[in-house]
Amino acid sequence: MYDAVYDADRLVVGFDLDMTLVDSRQGIVDCMQRTLRTRGVTATEQQLWPLIGAPLLDNLALFLPDDQVEDAATDYRADYLVQAIEVTVLLPGARDLVDAIHAAGGKVLVVSAKNPAAVQAVLEHVGITPDIVVGDLFGHDKAGPLSEHHATAYIGDHSGDMHAAGTAGVRAVGVTTGPTDAAALLAAGADVVVDDLAELVPRLADLAAGAPAAK
């Protein structure tokens, strides 16, 4: 039903991963707490929740001396692949939206701050197969692959995702499944904010249109 309406060359939708496509909160918090605890630091879920989606090294540096951050990141990444993948689940509407984009003849691009090995492991676990996957990028740096792959929209739960979309000149779509609320997403440049991805399934034409002319 979508092929007659959408141009496959125009519909290229980028997604953030954590708290946009997948609910990874439990795994991230548990692994961060274990990594910090082995270094004598206690962090609560309330402290860690707002940090989800930001670069790992930056998050660890909030709790640890500089000379411990790299080793802690190595430990976290190893622990994540063992402990966190199985507790990660798709967020509501994620599969429906990805399937609708593919049914329309469009492409799905995942651009995440998470390291590539973890991104691939999470996607394989939840059964999502994007056309392009890029890891280790955050905020404005995500604009590079969005431009390179001619994305028409970028969907994310973090203010940094909205900044990336704005830098790339693509439609910025915020989703409130992460730690950032609608007001903050709009303030960061979101063209539209939804509560879950299912709301976007009937709006593929908007995602294919690119950024609004007035943006």
Q: What is the pLDDT of residues 117-145, one digit of tens each?
A: 999 999 999 999 999 999 999 999 999 99
Same domain, 83 and 93: no
- State the CATH number of the domain containing residue 157: 3.40.50.1000
Same domain, 16 and 52: no
Grade residue 214 by pLDDT with cuts at 50, 70 and 90.
low
- Reduced DSSP (H G I as helix, E B as strand, rest coil) percent helix, strand, coil of the chain, to 5: 50, 15, 35
Q: Is the dihedral of CA 124, 110, 139, 191 positive or negative?
A: negative
pLDDT reported for residue 7: 65
Grade residue 154 by pLDDT with cuts at 50, 70 and 90.
very high
pLDDT reported for residue 142: 98
Q: Which two tokens stand for residue 47?
A: 């402290």
The average confidence (pLDDT) of the chain is 94
Q: What is the extent of the structural domain holding 40?
A: 25-87
Same domain, 70 and 164: no
Same domain, 103 and 17: yes
Strands of the chain, DSSP E: 12-15, 22-23, 89-90, 107-111, 132-134, 153-156, 171-175, 192-194
Asked if 145 and 164 touch (Cβ cutoff 8 Å), the reply is: no
Same domain, 32 and 82: yes
Q: Residue 9: is its pLDDT beyond 90?
A: no
Q: Considering only CA atoms, give the Rg of the chain.
A: 17
Grade residue 4 by pLDDT with cuts at 50, 70 and 90.
very low
CA distances from 53 to 151, 155, 181, 201 (A): 20, 13, 14, 24
Q: Residue 65: is its pLDDT beyond 80?
A: yes
Asked if residue 151 is part of any domain, the answer here is yes
Q: Which two tokens stand for residue 169?
A: 């000149």
Strands of 121-206, DSSP E: 132-134, 153-156, 171-175, 192-194
Confidence (pTM): 0.93
Asked if residue 7 is part of any domain, the answer here is no
